[in-house]
Chain A
């Protein structure tokens, strides 16, 4: 990652109340790549984070996403994938608990604003009580990403808990 002013905080959210989704919208297209750092707790615990992309303020909820996961549980290593889904899965075994600070996830979204290629996101999710995951997600769209929405469980059927943090950074190549 580049140093100094090429690594720019775009937006940050620390939840003041429980909420089922967190959205970064109107993301400028002036960066090269995006990084999102999430430290979240979820009601009920052991519930995954999912995310979707959008353009023009509209989130794509169609079956345009796929995910491949490399995971470790502490006793077993393996891989899982799902295709033509309506979301990207951010974690598989490293799902957040209901305790703040127990999990962290870092997303890297490359070349997010181009309008010629599908978009790939890499993610490392960590929840040392549950597992460690490395995932890749694909959005099969050539639209520029200007919106990212995170969901607590499928379509936000759970809540991110108060105090969870979400920060979006932009990385500029030059």
Chain B
């Protein structure tokens, strides 16, 4: 049986870095799936990351999200030069807690704009937690060949943060 759910690249950080990039993504899959477990050394309970495709820094990223903090729910959105405000654990959150993130990008190699989905959680037990369900759109029409995850503050992704990129084929 064909292997249609394939690990393209895995990164486990051995040193703190400000960004992680999957570069040179082949166009041979149908969809992409990314799973991240990450923590920041930024001195707050929460940090946030932003995402760019193909290093496009134009105002081409549209976002809608549902957000839950444990006490309230809200919705936010906007258009920006990156897909932003994806929360994960900062250095003052409970020790050893990492934010978890899953992103699905259908038809990433098409010549249409790219809609994608993110489910994201940051839980801290004694410190705060939050949950985000997000709809994203990149208005670029080029095939996605690189994805960069960037710490949105002055922090870094810490050691043992993991980033996995999978490709899914429909045949």
Contact = CB atoms under 8 A, between A and B. Distances in A.
Interface string A52-77: 00000000000000000011111111
Given A132-B64, A134-B66, A165-B106, A74 B75 contact: yes
Q: Which 6 A-B pairs have the closest CB atoms?
A: A74-B77, A101-B112, A72-B75, A126-B135, A72-B66, A128-B137
Contact of B135 (A7, A75, A77, A131): A131
Interface stretch (B3-11, B13-21, B154-162): B3-11
A129 B137 contact: yes
Given A128-B135, A132-B64, A101 B1 contact: no
Counting chain A residues whose Cβ lies within 8 A of the other chain, the interface size class is: 35 or more
Given A72-B64, A72-B65, A128-B136, A165 B107 contact: yes
B67 A104 contact: no
B22 interface: no
Interface of A: 1-9, 12, 37, 39, 70-77, 94, 99-104, 106, 124-132, 134, 163, 165, 167, 169
Counting chain B residues whose Cβ lies within 8 A of the other chain, the interface size class is: 35 or more
28 contacts: A3-B5, A3-B7, A4-B3, A4-B5, A6-B5, A8-B2, A71-B66, A72-B76, A72-B77, A74-B78, A77-B67, A99-B113, A100-B110, A101-B107, A104-B115, A104-B117, A124-B119, A126-B64, A126-B115, A126-B134, A127-B115, A128-B64, A128-B135, A129-B62, A129-B137, A132-B75, A165-B107, A169-B168
Interface string B103-128: 01011001011111101000000000
A76 B67 CA distance: 10
A74 B76 contact: yes
B117 to A, nearest CB: 5
Contacts of A70: 66, 133
A106 B104 contact: yes
Nearest to B3: A4
Given A126-B134, A132-B64, 20 more contacts: A4-B3, A5-B4, A9-B169, A70-B66, A71-B66, A74-B64, A75-B76, A76-B75, A77-B75, A100-B113, A101-B107, A124-B119, A126-B115, A126-B117, A127-B137, A128-B135, A128-B136, A131-B75, A131-B135, A132-B75
